[in-house]
């Protein structure tokens, strides 16, 4: 019997940590770690599905770990690790691949979008959600805090686990995605119909957790909005203002209706100033903690402890799967 329920999440280091990652995943984990047994990792194997510069990737992995802790992930409450250091995860992933149909994998929205305009996409792009299923299933995760864009992948993990359990007997806990009600999908500031993403395609639309205060203020003040000057949440007709409301409610302590009331008779300039100040000071505080951490030896100790625990659990699950599948001598 498990004592505490488990939560787990990961972020892939394909660019800097963004405000979207912070609100969609990290911030939820900071809260949940008080109640659940928590696991958070850098999904560096997932980064390889698109070409990476090895030197930059190596630096980014370390920056992600320091950023998690600076954002409030507590190494005494959460197991923090680097995905590629756990060699059992790709092995589990392969066994799960054999329980997944090509049709299922190719129906994933992200796969369809990312393979659409790229004839030379890697096989890794197709198997990506199955590796994610291995990340989730190896340690009996109950809840997976993710942004809405990853919900389908968590549901696939659940389906694969369910099928495996039915065919080979109880092996996995069935995980559930957990998405916040506010700020589920932070949008690009320049194009609020698009997700705020790590890609370097939209330098003024994406807020990185490493941006300077001045840059954050500039980006928010120049965020695309409509022209009717009414601060009201309406994702369909007012995506720019709704996005800023989502950011403000996620980082401050006012709900969306409270924000609408507060800025009832104000113009967009005043509202943007408020969101810019709130966001930039929130991130500035995190950066102060990050700067203290990034060169400390503490990070290695935290990662060593994290990978030890994660590897032990993954080895146990891998052995159990092999046994169920008949991959054992005795």
Binding site for ligand TYM (CB under 6 A): 8-12, 20-21, 23-25, 43, 46, 132, 135-136, 144, 146-147, 149-150, 185-186, 195-196
Nearer to ligand TYM, 238 or 301 (CB): 238
For the CB of residue 323, give the shortest distance to ligand TYM in the complex, in Å. 25
Residue 198 designated active-site: yes
- In 139-185, the DSSP E strands lie at 143-145, 176-178
Instruction: Tell me how far apart the alpha carbons of residues 313 and 316 are, in angstroms, rounded to a whole number.
Output: 5
Residue nearest to ligand TYM (CB): 24
Give, in degrees to the nearest 5, the angle at Cα 149 between 245 and 277.
25
Sheet holding 78-82, edge to edge: 78-82, 37-42, 6-11, 143-145, 176-178
CA neighbours closer than 13 Å in the CB half-sphere of residue 196: 34
For the CB of residue 128, give the shortest distance to ligand TYM in the complex, in Å. 7
> Considering 195, 238, 272, 317, which one is annotated as catalytic?
195
For the CB of residue 269, give the shortest distance to ligand TYM in the complex, in Å. 25
Residue 262 designated active-site: no
Nearer to ligand TYM, 13 or 280 (CB): 13
Q: Are 13 and 44 in contact (CB under 8 A)?
A: yes
Nearer to ligand TYM, 124 or 269 (CB): 124
For the CB of residue 135, give the shortest distance to ligand TYM in the complex, in Å. 4
User: Which SS3 state, helix, strand or coil, does residue 169 take?
Assistant: coil
Q: Are 221 and 276 in contact (CB under 8 A)?
A: yes
Nearer to ligand TYM, 23 or 32 (CB): 23
Instruction: Tell me how far apart the alpha carbons of residues 92 and 311 are, in angstroms, rounded to a whole number.
Output: 12
Residue 195 designated active-site: yes
Indicate which residues carry an active-site annotation: 114, 195, 198
């Amino acid at each position: 019997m498990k004592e505490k329920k488990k939560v787990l999440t990961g972020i892939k280091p394909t660019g800097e940590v963004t405000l979207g990652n912070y609100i969609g995943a990290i911030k939820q984990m900071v809260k949940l770690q008080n109640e659940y047994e928590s696991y958070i990792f850098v999904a560096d194997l997932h980064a390889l599905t698109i070409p990476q510069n090895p030197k930059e990737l190596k630096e980014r992995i370390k920056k992600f770990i320091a950023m998690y802790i600076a954002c409030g992930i507590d190494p005494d409450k959460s197991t923090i690790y680097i995905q590629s250091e756990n060699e059992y995860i790709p092995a589990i992933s392969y066994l799960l691949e054999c329980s997944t149909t090509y049709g299922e994998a190719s129906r994933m929205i992200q796969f369809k979008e990312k393979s659409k305009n790229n004839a030379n996409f890697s096989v890794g792009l197709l198997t990506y959600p199955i590796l994610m299923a291995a990340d989730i299933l190896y340690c009996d995760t109950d809840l997976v805090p993710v942004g809405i864009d990853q919900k389908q992948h968590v549901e696939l993990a659940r389906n694969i686990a369910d099928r495996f359990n039915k065919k080979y007997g109880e092996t996995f806990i069935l995980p559930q995605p957990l998405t916040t009600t506010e700020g589920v999908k932070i949008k690009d500031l320049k194009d609020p119909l698009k997700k705020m993403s790590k890609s370097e395609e939209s330098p003024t639309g994406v807020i990185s957790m490493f941006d300077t205060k001045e840059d954050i203020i500039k980006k928010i003040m120049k965020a695309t909005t409509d022209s009717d000057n009414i601060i009201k949440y309406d994702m369909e007709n007012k995506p720019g203002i709704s996005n800023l409301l989502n950011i403000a409610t996620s980082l401050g302590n006012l709900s969306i209706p409270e924000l609408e009331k507060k800025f009832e008779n104000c113009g967009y300039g005043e509202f943007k100033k408020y969101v810019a100040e709130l966001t930039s000071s929130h991130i500035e505080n995190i950066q102060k903690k990050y700067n203290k951490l990034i060169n400390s030896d503490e990070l290695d100790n935290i990662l060593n402890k994290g990978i030890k625990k994660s590897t032990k659990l993954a080895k146990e699950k891998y052995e159990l799967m092999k046994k169920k599948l008949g991959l054992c001598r005795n």
